């Protein structure tokens, strides 16, 4: 290992021709996971199932980590001369293994590399779809297998993850939540629980997931989702004076004086216009204090974006709770998106990605207001389990993600299509329709860079296809680009 993007395309071609793809590694480090993600992305694109990417990556990540844990466990017993098949020695070995290794599997990495214990991934095309097998060199014990089967059985009865989370706190091998997550993802995505199996031949363990050609996702209904849909339906339209202002922005005969005067009637719009004009990376030598200066500096298209964002925020803040940190994050994302668009030589979309940045997380306001505790718990799970995106966890726990809530709000307010799509796809850029690919990718990248700063994401999470589109050849390149934009943001916010 490791496979690069070109090799991944070649492997997928082989797979399509009926040749199985085999990949082997000792330890699933970031490079391995990144390579697998781009391989899965290519396989799913070919199957026209790209929307399953995060689901598949999350399932496979759990499966692969478990395989690595099983190999580490076997090694641990071998090193200490403990017999894994002897119940007493097993209990003793396991309690030490849990304390010493499980929380920090990375420390077993070098030993695993030297041990010869491997993890193999095999992809095979079959008549019904693509079969993905994860095989490790350790036979699963009958007790372990029956415990997993039992947990899966139980997990099948849950409608959503929130139902499960109090019950599965007791997790003998830290695998309880993982199994519930995998089961619910299989069930809700339409891949199906029956597509998953674990078998052992006495020397190794194999975990199969079959991705069928035909998939029908399950509609998950939760009380929270029903409540959210009701709330979105009831959102008021934009106030008349804003609609009039937006019309003036597009009117070639309107004067800046007239527009500025109308802005100043609304104090919160005024404050947003001044604040965002001063902090969105517009080239100015001094602080903008006057609305008319702001309008002249940023131009009518950017002003229009601020009006849209500001009114949307006002309505949401009034209806739900005010989450200042979300809007601050959105302001930063908007800054990053504008500069990214400029750097990627996409001047035409600088104004549109400014707006997508400003509003991309509007669904989060609704989510946080509806159930703060659950939403926080979801973020915690996403961080702890290094899940690539919160979308998966939100869908599996609440039946709806903040991206989809955002999309619904955008449709309710008849936002332009590029904005609606950028909100919908800001965590799953590969789902973007072709005509809005740049707006979506730039919004995604800007948001990911912000997420890296809060340690929510890592550069290796970045979607290979997005990086390829902009010629970002390596993680170092991504980091340099990010550093440059961040530097500019910091200088601008100080001035
Ligand atoms: Fe988001
Ligand atoms: Fe965000």
Q: Examine the fold and report which residue of 185, 212, 239 is the final residue of a domain before the chain moves on.
A: 212
* CA R_g for the chain: 25
pLDDT for the residue numbered 228: 93
Using DSSP's 3-state secondary structure scheme, residue 221 falls into coil
Residue written as tokens 């009034």? 318
267 in any annotated domain: yes
| Ligand 1 centroid to residue 68 C-alpha, Å | 31
Ligand at shortest distance from the CA of 450 = 2
| Ligand 2 centroid to residue 43 C-alpha, Å | 28
Q: Torsions phi, psi of 124, nearest 5?
A: -140, 135
- Are 142 and 227 within one domain? no
154 burial (CB, 10 Å; 0-12 / 13-18 / 19+) is: middle
Alpha-carbon distance of 25 to 72, in angstroms, equals: 13
E strands along 176-216, which residues? 196-200, 205-212
356 in any annotated domain: yes
- Are 463 and 377 within one domain? yes
Q: What residue ranges of the chain have pLDDT lower than 50?
A: 1, 170-174
217 in any annotated domain: no
| Ligand 2 centroid to residue 403 C-alpha, Å | 10
pLDDT for the residue numbered 172: 46
395 in any annotated domain: yes
| Ligand 1 centroid to residue 492 C-alpha, Å | 24
Q: By C-alpha distance, which of 157, 152, 66, 161 is closest to 378?
A: 161
| Ligand 2 centroid to residue 448 C-alpha, Å | 8
Q: Counting every residue, how long is the chain?
A: 495
- Residues forming a β-bridge with 208: 133, 197
352 in any annotated domain: yes
- Are 70 and 22 within one domain? yes
- Are 205 and 231 within one domain? no
- Are 125 and 265 within one domain? no
218 in any annotated domain: no
| Ligand 1 centroid to residue 428 C-alpha, Å | 10
- Residues forming a β-bridge with 121: 23, 134
pLDDT for the residue numbered 284: 65
Asked if 80 and 120 touch (Cβ cutoff 8 Å), the reply is no
For residue 279, the domain's CATH number is: 1.10.3210.10
pLDDT for the residue numbered 377: 83
Ligand at shortest distance from the CA of 403 = 1
| Ligand 2 centroid to residue 147 C-alpha, Å | 38
Alpha-carbon distance of 366 to 245, in angstroms, equals: 27
Q: By C-alpha distance, which of 176, 174, 139, 170 is closest to 154?
A: 176
Alpha-carbon distance of 99 to 414, in angstroms, equals: 54
Q: Output the six-digit token pair for 345.
A: 């030589």
- Are 51 and 124 within one domain? yes
Ligand at shortest distance from the CA of 449 = 2
41 in any annotated domain: yes
242-265: b or e for each residue (b if 16 or more CB lie within 10 Å)?
beebbebbeeeeeeeeebbebbee
pLDDT for the residue numbered 171: 46
Ligand at shortest distance from the CA of 328 = 2
Ligand at shortest distance from the CA of 357 = 2
- Sorted by sequence, the CB contacts under 8 Å of residue 13 that are 6+ apart come out as none
Tell me the CA distances in angstroms from 469 to 445, 472, 477, one per residue in order. 12, 8, 13
Residues around the ion ligand 1 (C-beta < 5 A) = 361
| Ligand 2 centroid to residue 452 C-alpha, Å | 11
Q: By C-alpha distance, which of 123, 152, 138, 147 is closest to 206?
A: 138
- Are 322 and 418 within one domain? yes
- Are 139 and 200 within one domain? yes
Ligand at shortest distance from the CA of 406 = 1
237 in any annotated domain: yes
Q: In what order do the strands lie in the sheet with 196-200?
A: 21-25, 119-125, 129-136, 205-212, 196-200
Q: Examine the fold and report which residue of 191, 212, 233 is the final residue of a domain before the chain moves on.
A: 212
| Ligand 1 centroid to residue 444 C-alpha, Å | 9
25, containing H or E segment:
strand 21-25
Domain enclosing residue 394, as ranges: 223-494
Alpha-carbon distance of 351 to 342, in angstroms, equals: 10
The pTM is what? Answer: 0.88
Q: Examine the fold and report which residue of 212, 241, 267 is the final residue of a domain before the chain moves on.
A: 212
Q: Output the six-digit token pair for 436.
A: 């809005």
Residue written as tokens 């396989």? 43
| Ligand 1 centroid to residue 222 C-alpha, Å | 21
- Are 381 and 487 within one domain? yes
| Ligand 1 centroid to residue 427 C-alpha, Å | 6
- Summarised one tens digit per residue, pLDDT across range 287-300 is 788 898 888 888 88
Q: How open is the CA angle 392-145-97, to the nearest 5 degrees? A: 85
- Are 167 and 256 within one domain? no
In the chain, how many H helices and how many E strands? 23, 5
- Are 171 and 31 within one domain? yes
Q: Output the six-digit token pair for 403.
A: 């991206």
- Are 114 and 263 within one domain? no
Asked if 42 and 78 touch (Cβ cutoff 8 Å), the reply is no
Tell me the CA distances in angstroms from 143 to 87, 117, 165, 182, 199, one per residue in order. 10, 22, 23, 20, 13
Structurally, the chain folds into a number of domains equal to 2
| Ligand 1 centroid to residue 330 C-alpha, Å | 9
């Amino acid at each position: 290992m490791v496979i690069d993007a070109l090799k991944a395309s070649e492997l997928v071609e082989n797979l399509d021709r009926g040749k199985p793809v085999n990949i082997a590694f000792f330890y699933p480090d970031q490079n391995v996971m990144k390579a697998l993600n781009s391989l899965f992305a290519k396989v799913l694109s070919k199957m026209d199932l790209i929307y399953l990417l995060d689901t598949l990556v999350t399932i496979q990540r759990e499966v692969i980590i478990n395989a690595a844990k099983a190999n580490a466990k076997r090694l641990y017993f071998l090193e200490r001369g403990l017999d894994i098949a002897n119940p007493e020695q097993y209990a003793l070995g396991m309690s030490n293994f849990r304390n010493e290794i499980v929380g920090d599997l990375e420390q077993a990495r070098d030993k695993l590399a030297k041990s010869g214990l491997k993890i193999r991934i095999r992809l095979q095309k079959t008549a019904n779809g693509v079969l993905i097998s994860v095989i490790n060199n350790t036979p699963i014990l009958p007790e372990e297998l029956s415990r997993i089967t039992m947990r899966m059985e139980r997990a099948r009865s849950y409608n959503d993850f929130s139902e499960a989370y109090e019950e599965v706190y007791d997790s003998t091998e830290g695998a309880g939540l993982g199994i519930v997550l995998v089961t619910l993802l299989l069930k809700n995505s339409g891949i199906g629980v029956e597509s998953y199996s674990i078998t052992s031949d006495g020397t190794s363990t194999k975990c199969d997931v079959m991705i069928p050609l035909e998939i029908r996702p399950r509609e998950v209904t939760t009380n929270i989702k029903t409540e959210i849909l009701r709330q979105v339906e009831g959102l008021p339209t934009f106030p008349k004076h804003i609609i009039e202002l937006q019309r003036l922005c597009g009117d070639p005969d309107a004067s800046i004086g007239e527009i500025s005067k109308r802005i100043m009637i609304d104090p919160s719009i005024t404050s947003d216009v001044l604040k965002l004009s001063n902090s969105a990376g517009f080239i100015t030598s001094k602080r903008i204090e006057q609305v008319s200066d702001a309008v002249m500096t940023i131009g009518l298209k950017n002003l229009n974006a601020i009006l849209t964002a500001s009114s949307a925020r006002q309505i949401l803040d009034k209806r739900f709770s005010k989450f200042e940190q979300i809007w601050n994050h959105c302001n930063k994302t908007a800054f990053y998106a504008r500069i990214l668009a400029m750097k990627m030589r996409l001047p035409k979309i600088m104004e549109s990605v400014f707006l997508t940045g400003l509003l991309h997380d509007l669904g989060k306001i609704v989510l946080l207001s509806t159930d703060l505790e659950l939403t926080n718990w979801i973020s915690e799970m996403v961080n702890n389990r290094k899940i690539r995106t919160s979308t998966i966890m939100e869908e599996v726990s609440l039946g709806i993600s903040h991206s989809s809530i955002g999309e619904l709000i955008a449709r309710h307010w008849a936002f332009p299509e590029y904005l609606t799509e950028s909100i919908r796809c800001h965590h799953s850029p590969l789902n973007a329709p072709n005509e809005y690919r740049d707006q979506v990718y730039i919004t995604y990248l800007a948001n990911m860079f912000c997420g890296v700063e809060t340690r929510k994401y890592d550069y290796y999470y970045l979607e290979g296809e997005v990086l390829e589109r902009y010629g970002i050849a390596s993680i170092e390149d991504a980091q340099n680009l990010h550093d440059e934009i961040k530097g500019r943001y910091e200088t601008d916010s100080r001035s």
